[in-house]
Amino acid sequence: MSLKEMLPEYMTEFPEMGRADLRDLKKGIDQSFRTFTRENGEAIENFFYPLKMFMVWFEKLLLGTPWPLMIAVLCLLVWLGARSITMVIGTAIALLVIGYLGMWEDTMRTLALVSVSTFVCIAIGIPVGILMSKSDRIQAVIVPILDIMQTIPAFVYLIPVLMLLGIGKVPGLIAVCIYAIPPVVRLTNLGIRLVDKDVLEAADAFGASPRQKMMQVQLPLALPNLFAGVNQTIMMALAMVVVASLIGAHGLGSQVLKAVYNQYLTHGMMNGLAIVTIAIVFDRVSQKFGKRLQKHSEKIHG
């Protein structure tokens, strides 16, 4: 006789909610969210309309720019960020290969999605990280939210985003931002909190205001962590392009999805490698730029 058979029923059967109650609970939550969506859907769409226009404008700008000019601009940005002729040549060769293999337009769409989502994440994430660094209470509230954003499966939060905004560029952008924003928030907060207290006391002794202390002491010294956060945000945004394509974000991700549906191995591999190429360029440039800024701040602060 097993141990389970020897114990009373209430010890072996987990106390579950009744099926009828559970069904009513799920139906109640679903109905409440549908009602909220019907009543506020238009207002939410209007709120995100400027973001949609910016996204569409930026994508058209990248697609409408002649490819030689686009490669020259991207190589110039790589040079300004990394100051490495090797990286510039590598970027130019990678873009030429991507274009030669027929993935230019999808690459530009993905570049637009990742660039705009990274811009949104930085614009929201760094101020939130600064707020967290100033108050333990705010940190205690935001950290569990970041934990949920990083651990909840992406397909789960695609459902409410889809119900609120339907299929399109903005839902894809929001899905990418939800997944990609936590690193820049966490590492901005961490970087500012790790600034040496002796340095802050010296800034106080020289009569620095809280704003001067933040802008001229804490943020410059937190740059290594801050750029590590930006770097991770870019990588996570690129990791989401395939998932975001499920709700209307076009680009290399949608081509990978198409390859999965149709079992096109080569098509999927080529588009996947194009995403990896963009990730490597973003990663190396942001790392080099962060190191250069760090050296610059070290010279300033002695």
Question: In angstroms, rounded to a whole number, what is the distance separating the alpha carbons of residues 219 and 217?
Answer: 6
What domains are there in the chain, each with its CATH number? 37-301 (1.10.3720.10)
User: What are the angstrom distances between the C-alpha of 96 and each of 65, 68, 91, 107?
Assistant: 15, 9, 9, 12
Quick one: pLDDT at residue 294?
67
- Tell me the whole-structure pTM to 2 decimals: 0.83
| pLDDT higher than threshold 80 for residue 293 | no
Among 95, 98, 94, 75, residue whose Cα is nearest residue 85 = 75
| pLDDT higher than threshold 60 for residue 100 | yes
| pLDDT higher than threshold 60 for residue 301 | no
Mean of the per-residue pLDDT values of the chain: 85
Higher-confidence position of 251 and 120: 120
Quick one: pLDDT at residue 69?
94
Counting every residue written for the chain, the total comes to 302
Cβ atoms of 301 and 221 within 8 Å: the answer is yes
296 confidence band (pLDDT: 50, 70, 90): low
Higher-confidence position of 132 and 37: 132
64 confidence band (pLDDT: 50, 70, 90): very high
Phi, psi of 13 (to 5 degrees): -100, 120
140 confidence band (pLDDT: 50, 70, 90): very high
74 confidence band (pLDDT: 50, 70, 90): very high
Quick one: pLDDT at residue 182?
92
| pLDDT higher than threshold 60 for residue 300 | no
Among 253, 285, 291, 227, residue whose Cα is nearest residue 114 = 253
Query: What does R_g of the chain's alpha carbons equal in angstroms?
Result: 24
Cβ atoms of 274 and 253 within 8 Å: the answer is no
Quick one: pLDDT at residue 297?
59
Residue 266 in tokens: 């080569």
226 confidence band (pLDDT: 50, 70, 90): confident
What amino acid occupies position 14? F
Which of 56-70, 130-144, 188-202 has the least mean pLDDT?
A: 188-202
Q: What is the mean pLDDT of residues 257-261?
A: 86
Burial letters for 256-278: b for 16+ Cβ neighbours within 10 Å, e otherwise? bbebeeeeeeebbebbbbbbebb
Percent of the chain at pLDDT above 90? 23
Higher-confidence position of 88 and 196: 88
